Chain A
């Protein structure tokens, strides 16, 4: 067997998970539809005044993205866990952290990226300015991978538990609060004419931090859950 470089391994895992996701397009679409639906419910709930909607748009979109990513996190490891693939991954000589990182990346591409791409349309519904939408998208691009990565820790810890889905949200949502704050803060800053660089830099710092530590922590969590 030829030895894989770490990057080749990463690409391999990402490709595998993407192929699997494409075979089950309904799952991907459900997350996206959930996102759009939650966002569309807010104007119905709070009334159609454009001033208020414009003000709350970043918060609504971010919270909806947070909830939508919680919804899909349960599937991150469960299919592999049920058919025994995960056990093979744990036994594999390759680094488990890299395998986990690959799964995180593909999870983000399947459940985070579509939300980001959908955001401009929803932003227009809330009458956001072009500039605000651009910052919102930039924030989501930096922030949704963090949600996938931090969420993966929760998904690994709650693997195979009854009522895992609700428990997962309970564990992960408090940990995602900084992402929410910086993401909405950036949009708020740009609409009030301030610089967005501080918010986005901090978000970037969180992304780097998450990238460095969460794959390893998730790998440890998987080992605990699978022993």
Chain B
């Protein structure tokens, strides 16, 4: 029997599905996080050039990757909400935004912690750092525009348009920043290690998957809250077991 996937595009059904999925994602995120950190901190050897400091990449690299991907996913959901007028897509977009902003912030923070011992400075106006900072600004713009419009439907649509404009602008910003950087100074210290040790790769990959699962978990939890808040006047919400209790 074919499964009707569109069934889950309604908040009513998705609410229950998300509730069932959350524990699985949460447990696997926790397990993979522990495994990844164990490999990263115990199994993986110290780096020849960077010593123990390099170990911050096990959180830094996954959070950078996620911050960028989540923006695209958020913009895609927002666009779907705008084009097909599906309520759930817009809710997903606004549920993803805080997690994306969090990962962008973690990426900047851990980057600074790594930069101090390696480059001798907390902050370098490197192309990647700068574009990550701008990405954080874009997230904050999306969140604050959504927060300042009282009508949730108008907020969804306005923020969606902003996210789409932002995602068109992201490559332009990225390349212009890169070019600006190469104009000002030669390339800063690059990650010049020879091919990575296998344990390092395993740890980084495990942590990446763990971060993905964490992002999915919290997004689903947040979207459930958003559904509860926005649909609070409907009958099916009042009939939910957890609401009645």
Interface positions of A (Cβ within 8 A of B): 153, 157-158, 161-163, 167, 170-171, 173-175, 177-178, 181-182, 185, 188-189, 202, 206, 213, 217, 220-221, 224-225, 227
- In the complex, A224→B183 CA distance in Å? 41
Q: Are B148 and A177 in contact (CB under 8 A)?
A: no
B10 on the A face (CB < 8 A): no
Q: Are B157 and A224 in contact (CB under 8 A)?
A: yes
Residues in A whose Cβ lies below 8 Å from that of B56: none
- In the complex, A224→B149 CA distance in Å? 12
- In the complex, A185→B184 CA distance in Å? 9
B46 on the A face (CB < 8 A): no
Q: Assuming the A-B contacts A171-B162, A206-B172, A225-B158, are A185 and B145 also in contact, with contact meaning beta carbons closer than 8 angstroms in the complex? A: no
B94 to chain A, nearest CB (A): 15
Beyond A170-B141, A227-B154: 4 further Cβ-contacts under 8 Å? A157-B145, A174-B138, A178-B172, A202-B176
Q: Are B157 and A177 in contact (CB under 8 A)?
A: no
Majority-rule SS of B interface residues: helix
- In the complex, A175→B171 CA distance in Å? 11
B38 on the A face (CB < 8 A): no
For B, the interface residue count at a CB cutoff of 8 angstroms equals 25
A133 to chain B, nearest CB (A): 20
Give 10 closest A-B pairs by Cβ, nearest first: A178-B176, A174-B137, A181-B180, A224-B157, A171-B141, A181-B176, A157-B158, A178-B172, A161-B148, A174-B134
Residues in A whose Cβ lies below 8 Å from that of B140: 170
Q: Assuming the A-B contacts A185-B183, A217-B161, are A171 and B145 also in contact, with contact meaning beta carbons closer than 8 angstroms in the complex? A: yes
Q: Are A225 and B154 in contact (CB under 8 A)?
A: yes
B237 to chain A, nearest CB (A): 26
Residues in A whose Cβ lies below 8 Å from that of B165: 153, 175, 217
Residues in A whose Cβ lies below 8 Å from that of B141: 170-171, 174
Q: Are A182 and B176 in contact (CB under 8 A)?
A: yes
Q: Assuming the A-B contacts A170-B140, A185-B180, are A221 and B158 also in contact, with contact meaning beta carbons closer than 8 angstroms in the complex? A: yes
